[in-house]
Structure 1
């Protein structure tokens, strides 16, 4: 048996995008080092065991709780891979910091893999936590230019690479000229800080259904959010005049990939519905609900991003026909770039590591005290 790698991210949390990332990371490790022991930290260990070919699954650490099994496996790991997905945001940042601090204490190599980072906006301590987390890492790869800017704004000045989301190159490329099943796959969700224009979206889907002579199939990518993707899908479907269906089974990353690969068109709010469509060369119209979506659409060559609160049926129909939509050349470039990892590790300074470790411990402790005593009820 070769080395042991622990994968830590938002795994086992009912999100298709994160499960697709996990599947891709596992495949990449197996391709490069077949005898590597892979351990996954998961919120739903049984689901992860059932859906991914890994050697061991342990409960994912949560705020205020580190399982004995996780600590034991971490003590044996040679590396821990943090990411991908939008892991670095104000939510759970202190938890991720504790995971990195413990991993460093056990002597594991720490790789931040194709991660996304939101703007750290609530407190100076959060910037210091993010900065020192990355200073403790042996390698840092970030998925998009906006995340890199947010990390730099937080004060991290160390080396990093921009490597797109691994799911871009996660599947065998299909023949882009092959016939599909005349389905329009739709992924919707509740925006965090915007309003989804349900009426205009329903009108747009009616027009697409008629122009493509295909029925709309809603594919819920996340069942844990409130309201869930399925509930939002129902709201849109009720406002449509053409026939539509909401998928009733469990939408795993394999199910989503299969439907998207055979579709005529994808209309996606969920970021990984767009990424999976790009990986399969399936025409896609992306609808942005926050900046991470718009930056990825721009990376893919979309000339005018459609936002969820400013939907125009004419713009959606126009992009569905190829006008101002994803660029095939950009998709090819991103696929190639996303397959780069895991090809590099830089050596971290022992002095920098010690300073970062102590600083991270101080700032996480400070953030926890603030959370306990000063958070509004």
Structure 2
């Protein structure tokens, strides 16, 4: 990229909501953009909480609103927020839409097209947009399918974080150049570590746990046939087994919805060896908290991703295909439990076996992840540069 001109890249996704996973995607993305451009890039994020985004990531952010949601129209049209969005997009050389499972309408078509509207506006301005570290979720309506196909057909490139999403995209957009649709693991896997990570030599050992409040998850878990109360009993029994072995337990939330749920578990356990984090942290803080653990058990996708990136023996409880897709994508299928089958497998012997497998397989898996990262940096850097220069 030319040093005489700072290119501006806009990013739209589910940012500013306090979800550690989404913020990890954003942090890893900004790190990647800065490195690949040698800091010759300006970044502006369309965020649900611009002040928080600026404070956490040190980048420019503006308030994003849903153009198709009546409750947002007053701010958009009477308070000038629409003008700020339009100006940001018109000044941008490229829009990245992602990451996460944004291509889905099971949360409602209005919510889906609200996120996609930035891409539609970029197209109207004659500017490029790309799909970034993205997944395809459930699409239940004709309108949702039409919008998904339009996004796939018009994006300058699409980087999918799951092979299955890539395969689905190839079916939905059969006329696309195959080189412009590709797979790499979730960008958060390659997030730079915090500045200070201490080696794990804990006495007593620490088990980090990140659980999803499945009742609050709504669309994520409604199709899973499971007795939630029985599952909760098994989770508590598992944690008690680790406590009996002398472990300290760290309950780490990755979404604000999970905090009351984790406190409920902590209260029932009633042990001084259980530490519950009282709020969601920044990506760096979350990664540092995980780095203090000797082992990890979790449901939240990005808690699993950050734990794996640190080489912490990880067992993922898959409540959504994206969790098992990530684990299989990095060669850790054996360290995954499907939620439907987890209750019968949530015992300390099984978890120890999977943690041991992780530790033994880690040198090979780590080398493979490093190799993917090197390929990704070269490939994506070139594609980003070409996407911007093509439209200059």
Identify the TM-score tier after normalising by the shorter chain.
0.7 to 0.9
Equivalent positions of 1:306-345 (< 5 A) are 306-309=337-340, 310-311=342-343, 312-313=346-347, 314-322=349-357, 327-338=362-373, 339-340=376-377, 341-344=380-383
Shift of 1:72: 0.9
CA contact (8 A) 1:187 1:268 kept: yes
CA contact (8 A) 2:133 2:186 kept: yes
Equivalent positions of 1:22-61 (< 5 A) are 22-33=26-37, 34-54=39-59, 56-61=60-65
CA contact (8 A) 2:185 2:329 kept: no
Equivalent positions of 1:161-240 (< 5 A) are 161-172=182-193, 178-181=199-202, 182-191=205-214, 192-193=221-222, 194=224, 195=226, 196=228, 197-211=231-245, 213-223=246-256, 228-240=257-269
**In the alignment, which of 110, 115, 125 is matched to residue 129 of structure 2?**
110
1:142 corresponding residue in structure 2: 160
CA contact (8 A) 1:266 1:282 kept: yes
Inter-CA distance 9–342: structure 2 relative to 1 (3 Å threshold) = farther
Q: TM-score, normalised by structure 2?
A: 0.79
Looking at structure 2, the residues matched to 263 and 157 of structure 1 have their Cα atoms a distance apart, in angstroms, of 47
Aligned to 1:321, what secondary structure does the other structure show? helix
Structure holding more helix per residue: 2
Shift of 1:295: 1.4
Which deviates the most, 144-153 or 266-275?
A: 144-153
CA contact (8 A) 1:319 1:325 kept: no
2:86 corresponding residue in structure 1: 71
Aligned to 2:334, what secondary structure does the other structure show? coil
Looking at structure 2, the residues matched to 206 and 278 of structure 1 have their Cα atoms a distance apart, in angstroms, of 24
**In the alignment, which of 6, 12, 16 is matched to residue 8 of structure 1?**
12
Shift of 1:179: 2.6
Which deviates the most, 63-72 or 168-177?
A: 168-177
Deviations 1:53-105 (A, max 9, x none): 21x21111324345221111111100111111122111332223322110111
**In the alignment, which of 294, 310, 319 is matched to residue 264 of structure 1?**
294
Unaligned runs of 5+ in 2: 77-81, 215-220
Looking at structure 1, the residues matched to 194 and 289 of structure 2 have their Cα atoms a distance apart, in angstroms, of 15
Looking at structure 1, the residues matched to 308 and 138 of structure 2 have their Cα atoms a distance apart, in angstroms, of 26
Which deviates the most, 337-346 or 12-21?
A: 337-346
Shift of 1:241: 6.3
Looking at structure 2, the residues matched to 331 and 86 of structure 1 have their Cα atoms a distance apart, in angstroms, of 25
Looking at structure 2, the residues matched to 273 and 324 of structure 1 have their Cα atoms a distance apart, in angstroms, of 18
Aligned to 1:286, what secondary structure does the other structure show? strand
Shift of 1:293: 0.9
Looking at structure 2, the residues matched to 321 and 176 of structure 1 have their Cα atoms a distance apart, in angstroms, of 22
Deviations 1:138-187 (A, max 9, x none): 11110111222333454555230101111111124999994344322111
Looking at structure 1, the residues matched to 187 and 238 of structure 2 have their Cα atoms a distance apart, in angstroms, of 31
Q: TM-score, normalised by structure 1?
A: 0.82
Aligned to 1:138, what secondary structure does the other structure show? coil
The root-mean-square deviation of aligned C-alpha atoms, in Å, is: 2.7
2:217 corresponding residue in structure 1: none
Looking at structure 1, the residues matched to 83 and 371 of structure 2 have their Cα atoms a distance apart, in angstroms, of 40
Equivalent positions of 1:80-99 (< 5 A) are 80-90=95-105, 91=107, 92-99=111-118
Looking at structure 1, the residues matched to 252 and 174 of structure 2 have their Cα atoms a distance apart, in angstroms, of 38
Inter-CA distance 97–202: structure 2 relative to 1 (3 Å threshold) = same
2:218 corresponding residue in structure 1: none
Which deviates the most, 40-49 or 106-115?
A: 106-115
2:275 corresponding residue in structure 1: 245
1:18 corresponding residue in structure 2: 22
1:101 corresponding residue in structure 2: 120
1:291 corresponding residue in structure 2: 321
Aligned to 1:179, what secondary structure does the other structure show? coil
Unaligned runs of 5+ in 1: 351-377
